[in-house]
Structure 1
Amino acid sequence: MKLSCEVIRDLLPLYFDKVCSNDSSSLVEKHLAECPQCMKELEKLKMDIESPKITDGEVQLMKNISTKWKKDRKSSFAKGSMLISALAAIICFVSYNIIGAEVLPDGTLVEPFALIPIGYVFLLVFIISTICNLIISRKHKANTY
């Protein structure tokens, strides 16, 4: 059975990756033995995969993008932790005031006191995140100039 060059060219990537069936491989090998054009296509496929053409400018561009992503990731983390901790602190303090305190008939005071120190912990995290964000932004500005 004689296959056209177009069919063989469709099978060449699978043949090169060794993922086609044994029957398909044998058909491709028979065709390659008789067809120098398809053999050149297989060689092109090998060269494209083995030696990608990347210029120095493209390498430098990717390094610049990678560096910017790393800086942005740190800044985004600091800003996100600032926002979350500020919201959590506000929620703790507001919840404490909404829930309120009550005195039981036996004279015991019942209040959600744990919300106060938790709120202060979140406030501390907010302050630390703000300081980290300021440091990161100053370093970023210093590296930009």
Structure 2
Amino acid sequence: MSLLERLNQDMKQAMKNKEKDKLSVIRMVKASLQNEAIKLGHELSEDEELTVLSREVKQRKDSLHEFDKAGREDLVEKIRTELQYVEEYMPKQLSEEEISKIVQETVAEVGATSKAEMGKVMAAIMPKVKGKADGSLVNKLVQQHLS
């Protein structure tokens, strides 16, 4: 089942169950996917859908951080709920150990030995973990491995 089909199905279910928050989030994600398809001028591939979902998750995490910093607990709770709904559509996230193993393999492949080669390592790793790992965690693990 494609992501759009799943979103449509979940949207109908949310309407039946009168889950306003979930319905709102599903509609936002669906709109983002459709806007991206229009922008690119073709149906989205799974990889492109993943990119859009990752962007949605990142936006909500950034908002969560900002609202938390500003002490807006009312908005923090709302964004946390939205984040949970969006993450349901993301692929299973890799554990820190799995990411660390991928980092070690990639560093060996690239032949990196210093932090100066971090960009090269990150460029090789990110396509492997796209949508399955948080970029900041990958960055931190690469830095640890190269130091």
Scaled by the length of structure 1, the TM-score of the pair is 0.23
Rg bigger for which structure? 1
